[in-house]
Amino acid sequence: SFLSKLENKTKGKLQKQICQVVLDHFDKQYATELGDTWTRVRDVLTYPLCWQYAVLLNKFSWSAELENTLRVKGYHPAFQGSLPYLPASFTCYIRRTPGRFPAQKHQAGKLKEYYLLNAASLLPVLALEVKDGEDVLDLCAAPGGKSVALLQCAYPGNLHCNEYDDLRSIWLKQTIESFIPDPLINLITITKLDGRHIGDLKPELYDKVLVDAPCSNDRSWLFSSDIQQATLRLIERKELSTLQFQLLRSAINALRPGGSLVYSTCTLSNAENSDVINLILSSCSNVTPVDISKLAKAVSQEFTFLSGMQQHELLVLPEKGRAWGPMYVAKLKKM
């Protein structure tokens, strides 16, 4: 049939795009770090036809019609029940089957009604537990999904969104403008500073900091079409943990005593996850880990987590039917 022909064509296209250099590298590293679990995760990461996308609703542009459409299409609210922190205004829809709800085109003067994302990327936002009036820093904010999600949760006193990269910074600005209404935009500051220096420039200014760090993006790296770029990425990968450590140290300096920070990445790599956090905990006497196991437990219906993690961290593992992640999340508090 026409459909199966089309499917084979897409399949062929998808199979072709996998970057063997990256896959070989991941196979070596992750088979060691994750054992048998890697086989299952690998099946999802290398097969985009089974990927899922969540629909985060924009409370500033709410539509009953949209919620109806989502329910008719088999979507259900993702976060329900006994979460330690779940603002009533925070609504995200997911469904078990793969595929993506159509994206909304940008229309001048009209706010978008929803944001499509990997549902696991909302966990750092829920872990941060932002409350009304708090001063919040999103240190590596582009493309802006987490900033938008933070604003669905609470009205910060001031939200500082920072993005060092020029192109990504433009993207961040567009995202904020597409989702956030005028009066509220005045609470948002967008900067292009080097995140490693923000702690020195703005010491002890924030109640909450999100460090969604630059990392080996396992999903997109697997489909690098350019072998040279992929090889370069794998070489530079070794430097990432140093950058992540520096960003975290800067974030700690930017926090008020008693404030907390969430660190997140979209990689499975131990060197960029637990190792970085352990290094921070052993070298900064003024921070302490915060238990986020209640959050993990509350969402264990929808997400699969790597077992054996410490209480202040979690790692979402993609699997079929729950193809969210990879997403590492850790929470720390400044004394």
Active site residues: 266
Question: Distance between CA 93 and CA 107 in Å, rounded?
Answer: 23
- Binding site annotation covers 153? no
- Binding site annotation covers 141? yes
- For residue 34, what is the enclosing H or E element? helix 20-34
Output phi, psi for 301, to 5 deg: -70, -40
- Binding site annotation covers 195? no
- Binding site annotation covers 284? no
Question: Distance between CA 57 and CA 113 in Å, rounded?
Answer: 6
- Binding site annotation covers 109? no
- Binding site annotation covers 218? no
- Binding site annotation covers 212? yes
The tokens for 312 are 């202040």
Question: Distance between CA 318 and CA 275 in Å, rounded?
Answer: 21
CB distance 306 to 317 below 8 Å: yes
- Binding site annotation covers 143? yes
Question: Distance between CA 156 and CA 280 in Å, rounded?
Answer: 27
CA angle 184, 138, 229 (to 5 degrees): 125
Of 325, 187, 196, the closest CA to residue 269 belongs to 325
Annotated binding site for S-adenosyl-L-methionine: which residue ranges? 140-146, 163, 194, 212
Annotated binding site: which residue ranges? 140-146, 163, 194, 212
